[in-house]
């Protein structure tokens, strides 16, 4: 989005999203303004009724126009409601299409943004931004904008009426309005309020993100008997949200109370005026006009409450637009104008440096290594050493900060994204399946695959036992009627999906981390079947799974420390040898009586 577009008012931005449906939004504003003017007319006729009653009393038989005034007041009131309903109809039509367009653009952007950004931000946070931010714009267009149009139009007509009947009382009412407006402006408008809304939304997003991560970690909590407080990030997020909400509410107690008192003080002022002129019986016109203000001034409080909430909503929608822009403005990974195809499926890292956004040090710091086509290699090392980050750069989850990554002698940045996705596949440690049939989950890798092709890869991925026990075989909907798969079973289905895609380069990221022994054995068998003739990069903490690798690369703090075959590294008595000895001890560890 251009800087020029960023400077646009929020309403104009929403009009851009609405497209041709923006005319419904414009129509809702026109109808709302017209409704506001029509809604004030009945007060004039009610005043005329009261005035005529005061004029003819005590001989009420001389009142001739009361019935006509009453019908006219009702007619204008009904017309005002009908016009306002038209305004709401237009606003909802415009809002529905605007929200749909916003969500479509965000989803399209997600499909083009780096997977690494999604991984870093968290799917829960991104989903919340899209849903909540678009809902905020929907509420603004559907209700707040028509109400604000009414709230802005009404005071203009209102001031004219206040000054028309008795300018002195009118000025008194206007002075009260000005004081109320200043109080409202002090705590509902300005940079501090904008910052508060941003802080609130950020706290809410972080709490949602950490809640999603906590739910995903429930198996660990149950396994080790830990409580919610073992997830410090979630507790901190909840505490941050609570502290802000409480302090925000306390900070606005006095200003809000003052505003409410002042905006509802019209009656007290009018009573004082009436008492002051109480002995002046020679001025019936004054008391007639005073009746108009007594009838009319309650509307002012209602209008200003709407205006106050519309001002708050304007900042809320402004913050929502900024959050939507935070997705739409993410830098995309673009294809080179001169695409190239690799000559083979070797992978080479040349002086690769990578630093995450806002990080203080490099996650990958000058790594150079070569993986021949068809070789099976492993990345090992302490947690946080850069294993997953380095392998993610091959698929362009991110682009390198410095250096280059070559596949078949071609920089991955020169390989079109669609072609790159057909070359490299990832198997994550916690693969997810959609709530649909096994068949459709597998077909995500190849939508035109036949059922026989799907059954073949399921057999090769050691999934026959899973399919045989499911009520409808490969047509069984995961999650329906109590049909669930364990983590290891889901992993095998995910492997079958990767097999169907049949890419020449495979990256296995701790793919057996959450598997039980039985599933782990079958997963390893599936890996061996899947890896035939492929270039394989395996990331592992269980060193027993990499002893047969053609070469092992040990990474620590983003640097390549050691490399070689298993036996050679053990004989070097370096970091890998120590890790291997520690692993051997952990395998032999038992609980003694």
Residue 66 dihedral angles phi and psi, to the nearest 5°: -60, -45
Cβ count within 10 A of residue 105? 15
The distance in angstroms from the start CA to the end CA of the chain is 67
Alpha-carbon distance of 415 to 329, in angstroms, equals: 23
| Stated length of the chain | 593
Instruction: Return the SS3 of 283.
Output: coil
Query: Residue 441 in contact with residue 433, Cβ under 8 Å?
Result: yes
Query: CATH 1.20.1560.10: which residues of the chain?
Result: 3-193+256-328
**262-315 pLDDT, tens per residue?**
777 766 676 776 666 655 545 556 666 677 667 666 677 676 666 666 666 777
The stretch 137-164 carries a mean pLDDT of: 79
Closest CA to 445 of 463, 474, 425: 425
* Block residue for tokens 């364990």: 486
Looking at residue 78, its pLDDT comes to 95
**421-452 pLDDT, tens per residue?**
889 988 877 667 778 888 998 898 888 889 99
What does 513-533 look like in DSSP terms, one character per residue?
A: TT--HHHHHHHHHHHHHHTTT
List, in sequence order, every residue forming a beta bridge with 380; answer none if it has no partner: 554
**400-411 pLDDT, tens per residue?**
889 999 999 999
Instruction: Return the SS3 of 351.
Output: strand
Query: Residue 331 in contact with residue 314, Cβ under 8 Å?
Result: no
Alpha-carbon distance of 130 to 110, in angstroms, equals: 11
Looking at residue 480, its pLDDT comes to 64
Angle at 208 between CA 202 and CA 210, to 5 degrees: 100
Q: Which pLDDT band holds residue 194 (cuts at 50, 70, 90)? A: low
Query: Residue 100 in contact with residue 130, Cβ under 8 Å?
Result: no
The conformational region for residue 510 under phi > 0 = left, psi -120 to 50 = alpha, else beta, is left
347-587 in CATH: which number? Answer: 3.40.50.300
pTM beyond 0.85: the answer is: no
Query: CATH 3.40.50.300: which residues of the chain?
Result: 347-587
Angle at 73 between CA 28 and CA 151, to 5 degrees: 35
Looking at residue 346, its pLDDT comes to 93
What residues contact residue 182 under an 8 Å CB cut-off, 6+ apart?
Answer: none
Closest CA to 268 of 166, 179, 164, 173: 173
Strands 402-407 and 376-380: unpaired
Q: Which CATH class is domain 3-193+256-328?
A: mainly alpha
Alpha-carbon distance of 134 to 124, in angstroms, equals: 15
Alpha-carbon distance of 256 to 365, in angstroms, equals: 55
**538-580 pLDDT, tens per residue?**
888 778 888 889 999 999 999 999 999 999 999 998 999 998 8
Alpha-carbon distance of 312 to 202, in angstroms, equals: 17
């Amino acid at each position: 989005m251009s800087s020029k577009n960023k400077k646009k008012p929020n309403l104009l931005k929403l009009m851009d999203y609405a497209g041709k449906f923006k005319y419904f939004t414009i129509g809702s504003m026109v109808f709302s303004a017209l409704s506001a003017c029509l809604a004030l007319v009945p007060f004039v006729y009610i005043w005329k009724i009261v005035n005529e009653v005061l004029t003819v009393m005590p001989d009420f038989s001389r009142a001739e126009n009361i019935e006509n005034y009453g019908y006219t007041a009702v007619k204008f009131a009904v017309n005002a409601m009908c016009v306002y309903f038209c305004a709401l109809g237009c606003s909802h039509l415009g809002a529905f299409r605007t929200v749909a367009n916003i969500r479509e653009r965000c989803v399209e952007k997600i499909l083009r943004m780096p997977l690494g950004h999604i991984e870093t931000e968290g799917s829960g946070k991104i989903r919340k931004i899209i849903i909540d931010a678009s809902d905020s714009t929907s509420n603004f267009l559907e209700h707040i904008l028509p109400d604000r149009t009414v709230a802005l139009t009404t005071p203009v007509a209102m001031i004219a009426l206040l000054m028309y009947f008795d300018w002195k009382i009118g000025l008194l009412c206007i002075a009260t309005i000005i004081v109320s407006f200043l109080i409202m402006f002090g705590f509902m408008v300005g940079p501090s309020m904008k910052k508060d809304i941003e802080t609130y939304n950020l706290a809410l997003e972080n709490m949602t993100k950490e809640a999603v991560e906590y739910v995903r970690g429930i198996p660990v909590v149950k396994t080790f008997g830990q409580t919610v407080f073992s997830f410090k990030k979630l507790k901190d997020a909840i505490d941050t949200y609570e502290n802000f909400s409480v302090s925000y509410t306390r900070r606005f107690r006095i200003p809000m109370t003052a505003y409410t008192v002042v905006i509802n003080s019209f009656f007290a002022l009018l009573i004082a005026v009436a008492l002051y002129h109480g002995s002046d019986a020679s001025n019936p016109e004054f008391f007639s006009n005073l009746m108009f203000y007594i009838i009319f001034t309650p509307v002012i409080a209602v209008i200003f409450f709407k205006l106050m909430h519309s001002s708050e909503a304007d900042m809320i929608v402004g913050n929502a637009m900024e959050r939507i822009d935070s997705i739409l403005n993410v830098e995309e990974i673009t294809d080179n104008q001169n695409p190239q195809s690799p000559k083979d499926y070797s992978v080479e890292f040349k002086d690769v440096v990578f630093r995450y956004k806002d990080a203080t040090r490099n996650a990958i710091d000058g790594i150079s290594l070569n993986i021949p086509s068809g070789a099976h290699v492993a990345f090992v090392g302490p947690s946080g050493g850069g294993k997953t980050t380095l392998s993610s750069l091959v698929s362009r989850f991110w682009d390198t900060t410095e250096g280059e990554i070559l596949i078949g002698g071609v920089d991955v940045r020169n390989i079109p994204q669609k072609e790159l996705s057909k070359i490299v596949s990832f198997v994550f440690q916690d693969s997810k399946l959609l709530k649909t049939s096994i068949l459709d989950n597998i077909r995500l890798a190849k939508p035109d695959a036949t059922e026989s092709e799907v059954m073949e890869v399921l057999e090769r991925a050691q999934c026959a036992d899973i399919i045989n026990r499911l009520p409808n075989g490969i047509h069984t909907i995961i999650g329906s009627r109590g049909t669930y798969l364990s983590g290891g079973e889901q992993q095998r289905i995910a492997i079958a999906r990767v097999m169907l895609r049949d890419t020449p380069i495979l990256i296995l990221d701790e793919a057996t981390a959450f598997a039980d022994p039985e599933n782990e054995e079958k997963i390893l068998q599936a890996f061996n079947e899947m890896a035939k003739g492929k270039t394989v990069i395996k990331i592992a903490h269980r060193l027993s799974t990499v002893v047969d690798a053609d070469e092992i690369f040990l990474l620590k703090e983003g640097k390549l420390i050691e490399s070689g075959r298993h036996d050679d590294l053990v004989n070097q008595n370096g970091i890998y040898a120590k890790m291997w000895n520690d692993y051997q001890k952990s395998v032999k560890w038992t609980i003694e009586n």
